[in-house]
């Protein structure tokens, strides 16, 4: 996960879509598991074409050409999905969430953080195995361009990050409670307070 510690610079491919004062907080690609289905189809097609070439269709050149042409289509489909995956990003900025998609036709879906009323985080069995999750975003409006984001990597970290930005008051209250519960440096756990050097001099 590419997370910006501060400042304006960020991923150039995404930075062009940001407002002048907007800062990238976290930028990730979709999880590579999104390529499992097209990769499995391409691999299965390769094994099937190889098996047919060595057995049933060994002497049928015209049919073999058609079989391998179909496999090339599956391979091209895998490459197309891989290229789209390489240029697609899910971005959390200081103002909104964005999902960029599309290699030839570019699409930018966004949701202002101030409009988010609720966000559901869920992980399927496959998501728990491979390490991705899905966000379902709800807002005051009815139709939103960015309502469901699937195949999100680092889902727990991103969920906590976004929730902390959506509900900053809750995050500050939690930090304040931690400060209040922190023991005073002037006392020892289970013992009396340590005397300072100034107090010792006053006794003298």
What are the structural domain ranges in the chain?
A: 1-30+91-182, 31-87
Nearest alpha carbon to residue 113 among 144, 142, 152: 144
**What's the pLDDT score for residue 13?**
75
Domain at 1-30+91-182: CATH code? 2.30.29
Per residue in 124-171, pLDDT (tens digit) is 999 999 999 999 988 876 667 788 899 999 999 999 999 999 888 765
Model confidence at 183: pLDDT above 60: no
Which carries the bigger pLDDT value, residue 184 or residue 124? 124
Which tokens sit at 69?
Answer: 């042409």
CA 36, CA 59: separation in Å to the nearest integer?
33
* Residue tagged 């391979």 (tokens): 75
Contact partners, residue 112, CB within 8 Å, separation at least 6: 95, 96
At 36 the three-state DSSP class reads helix
Mean pLDDT, residues 23-49 taken together: 94
Nearest alpha carbon to residue 60 among 5, 92, 138, 68: 68
């Amino acid at each position: 996960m590419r997370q910006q510690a501060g400042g304006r610079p960020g991923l150039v491919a995404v930075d062009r879509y940001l407002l002048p004062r907007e800062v990238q907080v976290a930028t990730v690609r979709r999880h590579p598991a999104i390529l499992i289905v097209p990769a499995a189809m391409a691999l299965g097609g390769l094994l099937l074409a190889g098996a047919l070439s060595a057995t049933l269709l060994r002497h049928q050149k015209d049919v073999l050409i058609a079989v391998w042409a179909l496999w090339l289509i599956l391979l091209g489909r895998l490459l197309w999905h891989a290229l789209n995956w390489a240029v697609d990003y899910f971005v959390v900025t200081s103002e909104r969430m964005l999902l960029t998609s599309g290699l030839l036709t570019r699409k930018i879906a966004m949701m202002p953080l101030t409009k988010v009323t609720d966000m559901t985080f869920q992980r399927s069995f496959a998501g728990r195995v491979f390490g991705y999750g899905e966000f379902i975003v709800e807002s005051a409006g009815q139709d939103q361009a960015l309502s469901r984001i699937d195949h999100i990597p680092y889902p727990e970290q991103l969920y906590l990050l976004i929730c902390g930005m959506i509900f900053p008051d809750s995050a500050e209250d939690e930090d304040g409670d931690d400060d209040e519960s922190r023991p005073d440096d002037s006392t020892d756990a289970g013992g009396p307070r340590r005397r300072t050097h100034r107090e010792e001099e006053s006794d003298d």
